[in-house]
DNA sequence: TTAAAAAATTGATTTAAATCACATTATTTT
DNA sequence: AAAATAATGTGATTTAAATCAATTTTTTAA
């Protein structure tokens, strides 16, 4: 881990795009920049301190770990996304761990500055509400996935979701199969077996560790009916 | 279901407490009031139309139903809580069902009015952010519960959470055991067996359909270590 | 206060998925 | 390109929880 001052960070955060240069400067004055190597722990049990942790570059996974070591991936943060937004408006502490999935650069922005900015810029408040709404939606989808779908359905749903973001029929997984398994609440062994089964059925074609070619979208969709 | 106009509704919503009477009046001008009997369906697949549905009296459960009929309770709304806040700031459609758990009164407030109010009152925006933050926190706790805890742990956690809100050692469940089971992602049979086991261990004492007396908090807590 | 309905419990059995143990394949690193 | 490491795959077995099928208890309504 390495700390430097860096002003560029805020430019990567869509939510702050509409701020004036002055406002950006004010927010960033007290910001701290940290870098993490792939695999490094960013934190265990988030100490919050009501700051906003912005992923400037790289990718971060937020994980809950049960008493017997089972991992549940809560979210994955990509460039421009941030963490700690809960601590801004609720004083509950979050207990989760965060790891750098790639070489990652994070900047920590003062929560007080953010709150000031929100109070002064209703439009920024709306932006934050939009981000929060998206977060709630994603969480609820996850609850649905884990709660009412069986594992084949969860896999099919995840593949179809990823496919939506892809141009062609090729999915490049943005996470390892091990993380994939954890995200949908199963083990890597079960995921592996199910994917092999999907391949047997001619629905998909596995290639390397991260590539999945969708051959029969309908087959996957039928699982969800 | 029955529709009348009613101005009292907004007074039951904590989030609007600090609005002026004029502002309240404006918001409520276009509001619609509906009542539902216990057990009635409030909606299947929420049509949103970007309005806020406020529970004025009673209790509502929001449910997702899988293709094979399995139910997952997503949230339970009590008096003063509301639904549809996602549609205000995201254009995604929610597909869930809602049922009145008791005789319930709901009023539907225009999303446009709310948005105007938020834009004009940064403090209301902050209030909304607080509510959203709480929602995210609750959703994430649910993901954790379903994702990493086994069923005994989920039950123990739910009981301890309920106990926190109770004055003495007596929990009056705010939901049926069937709903309890659905909330934590299991079946009523399994819940029943586990509670019987907890009672055998001397941790709890079941009384009637809704009362649970906690005899040994430590026993329950130990499950979660 | 009794009858009817709803909710919850209990037992027997099945099943989906976890676990354990090891083999194989991909990906980095030297 | 070979060696080392990390990630994934596969088989055998166990296990937790779901399912199916009655009962029993609690609550509500007549």
* Interface touch B132/A74, C-beta < 8 Å: no
Q: What is the DSSP string of A37-93?
A: -TT-EEESS---TT-EEEEEES-EEEEEE-TT--EEEEEEE-TT-EE-HHHHH--PP
- Interface contact A92, partner B, CB < 8 A: yes
- Interface contact B139, partner A, CB < 8 A: yes
Interhelix angle A111-120/B122-148, rounded to 10 degrees, is 130
Q: What is the DSSP string of A176-190?
A: -HHHHHHHTTS-HHH
Q: What pLDDT digit, counting tens, does each position of A204-225 carry?
A: 999 999 999 999 999 999 998 8
- Please give the nucleotide, over all strands, whose C1' is closest to the CA of residue B190: D17
Instruction: Tell me the C-alpha distance between A185 and B67, whole Å.
Output: 19
Q: What pLDDT digit, counting tens, does each position of B2-54 carry?
A: 444 455 677 878 888 888 888 888 888 888 889 998 888 888 876 666 888 99
Q: Using CB atoms within 10 Å of the CB of residue B22, give its burial: 0 to 12 exposed, 13 to 18 middle, 19+ buried.
A: exposed
Which among B147, B183, B187, B225 is the top mutation candidate for probing chain A, defined by the most A β-carbons within 10 Å of its own β-carbon? B147
Number of CB atoms found within 10 A of residue A108's CB? 20
Higher pLDDT, A95 or B152: B152
- Interface contact A120, partner B, CB < 8 A: yes
Q: What are phi and psi of B44, to 5 degrees?
A: -115, 135
CA angle B51, B98, A186 (to 5 degrees): 110
Q: What pLDDT digit, counting tens, does each position of A147-168 carry?
A: 889 999 999 999 999 999 998 9
Instruction: Tell me the C-alpha distance between A93 and A82, whole Å.
Output: 16
Q: Nearest CA to the C1' of C27 belongs to which residue?
A: A209
pTM of the predicted protein model:
0.90
CA distance A26 to chain B (A): 20
- In chain B, DSSP finds a helix count (H) and a strand count (E) of 8, 12
* Interface touch B133/A86, C-beta < 8 Å: yes
Q: What is the DSSP string of A125-168?
A: HHHHHHHHHHHHHHHHHHHHHHHHS-HHHHHHHHHHHHHHHSSS
Q: What pLDDT digit, counting tens, does each position of B165-180 carry?
A: 998 999 999 999 999 9
* CB-based contacts of A66-69 (< 8 A; 24+ apart in sequence): A66/B148, A66/B149, A66/B153, A67/B153, A67/B224, A67/B225
- Please give the nucleotide, over all strands, whose C1' is closest to the CA of residue A195: D9
Instruction: Tell me the C-alpha distance between B40 and B48, whole Å.
Output: 19
Cβ atoms of B168 and B50 closer than 8 Å: no
B115: which chain A residues are within 8 Å (Cβ-Cβ)? 126
* Interface touch A66/B148, C-beta < 8 Å: yes
pLDDT of residue A7: 55
DSSP structural state of residue A23: H
Instruction: Tell me the C-alpha distance between B100 and A211, whole Å.
Output: 46
**Which of A4-13, A122-131, B11-20, B42-51 is the most confident on average?**
A122-131
């Amino acid at each position: 881990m390495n700390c430097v001052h860096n002003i560029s960070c805020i430019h990567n955060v869509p939510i702050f795009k509409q701020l004036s240069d002055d406002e950006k400067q004010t927010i960033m004055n007290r910001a701290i920049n940290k870098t993490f190597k792939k695999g490094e722990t960013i934190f265990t049990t988030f100490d919050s301190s009501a700051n906003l942790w912005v992923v400037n570059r790289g990718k971060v996974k937020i994980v809950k770990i049960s008493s017997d070591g089972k991992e549940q991936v809560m979210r994955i943060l990509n460039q421009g996304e941030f963490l700690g937004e809960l601590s801004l408006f609720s004083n509950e502490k979050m207990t989760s761990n965060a790891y750098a999935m790639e070489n990652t650069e994070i900047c920590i922005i003062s929560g007080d500055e953010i709150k000031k900015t929100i109070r002064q810029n209703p439009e920024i408040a709306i932006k934050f509400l939009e981000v929060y709404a998206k977060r709630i939606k994603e969480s609820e989808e996850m609850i649905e996935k884990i709660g009412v779908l069986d594992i084949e359905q969860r896999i099919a749903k995840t593949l179809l979701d990823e496919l939506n973001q892809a141009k062609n029929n090729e999915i490049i997984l943005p996470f390892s199969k091990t993380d994939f398994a954890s995200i949908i609440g199963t083990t890597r062994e079960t995921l592996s077996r199910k994917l092999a089964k999907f391949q047997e059925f001619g629905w998909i074609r596995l290639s390397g560790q991260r590539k999945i070619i969708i051959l029969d979208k309908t087959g996957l969709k039928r699982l969800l009916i």
